[in-house]
């Protein structure tokens, strides 16, 4: 015959003790005692696994919130820079208009007459064309003359 393990004997002894107490408790009104002792959870690592999962989810959610906040800040900076760029473009257009007004030929002519005492010449100006333009004009004229002679 096989000998039972010591552990089983201890359980058997406990159950006998509890049975006796139960019988005594039923006779006298005492506190309730369960038949067997509560056993610890068989899956000890389940709690640690669930805590780790919860922490991972928490970390990822915080990372997502942080990233969304960073994107929002970048978008607000981008909007501010676009507004500033638009303002600078408007100022540039205004400065270009002022520059064009200041460099108009009629305005420069007035300033030249009043401040520098310059007046237009009575004779027509002589325009001297560069040499390469004259040669092209001569060649074009000769080409025309040759094309007219060859009908």
What pLDDT does 47 receive?
A: 84
What pLDDT does 81 receive?
A: 97
> How many distinct structural domains can be found in the chain?
1
Determine, yes or no, domain membership for 83.
no
What pLDDT does 103 receive?
A: 84
Determine, yes or no, domain membership for 96.
no
Determine, yes or no, domain membership for 12.
yes
Determine, yes or no, domain membership for 25.
yes
Determine, yes or no, domain membership for 21.
yes
Coil, strand or helix at 47: helix
Q: Give the DSSP H or E segment for 96.
A: helix 44-102
Query: For residues 89 and 73, what is the distance between their CA atoms, to the nearest angstrom?
Result: 24
- The DSSP code sequence of 122-138 is SSPPPPPPPHHHHHHHH
Determine, yes or no, domain membership for 71.
no
pLDDT tens per residue, range 114-145: 888 888 778 887 877 776 655 555 555 555 55
Could you list the pLDDT tens digit for every one of the 151 residues in the chain? 555 555 545 445 555 555 555 555 455 566 777 777 766 656 668 888 899 999 999 999 999 999 999 999 999 999 999 999 999 999 999 999 999 988 888 888 888 888 888 887 788 878 777 766 555 555 555 555 555 555 4
Burial 5-28 (b: 16+ CB within 10 A, else e): eeeeeeeeeeeeebeeebeeeeee
CA angle at 10 for the pair 9 and 12, rounded to the nearest 5°: 60
Query: For residues 60 and 148, what is the distance between their CA atoms, to the nearest angstrom?
Result: 88
The residue range of the domain holding 21 is 7-37
- Identify whether the C-beta of residue 36 lies closer than 8 Å to the C-beta of residue 21: no
What pLDDT does 15 receive?
A: 52
Determine, yes or no, domain membership for 24.
yes
Determine, yes or no, domain membership for 145.
no
Query: For residues 21 and 52, what is the distance between their CA atoms, to the nearest angstrom?
Result: 43
CA atoms within 13 A on the CB side of 101: 6
The residue written with tokens 């390469």 in the block is: 132
């Amino acid at each position: 015959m096989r000998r039972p393990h010591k552990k089983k004997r201890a359980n058997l002894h406990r159950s006998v003790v509890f049975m006796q107490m139960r019988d005594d408790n039923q006779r006298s009104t005492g506190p309730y005692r369960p038949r067997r002792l509560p056993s610890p959870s068989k899956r000890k690592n389940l709690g640690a696994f669930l805590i780790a999962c919860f922490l991972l989810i928490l970390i990822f959610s915080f990372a997502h919130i942080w990233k969304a906040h960073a994107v929002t800040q970048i978008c607000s900076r981008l909007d501010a820079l676009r507004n500033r760029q638009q303002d600078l473009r408007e100022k540039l257009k205004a400065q270009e208009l002022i520059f064009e007004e200041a460099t108009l030929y009629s305005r420069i002519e007035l300033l030249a007459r009043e401040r520098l005492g310059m007046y237009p010449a009575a004779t027509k100006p002589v325009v001297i064309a560069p040499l390469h333009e004259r040669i092209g004009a001569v060649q074009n004229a000769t080409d025309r003359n040759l094309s007219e002679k060859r009908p």
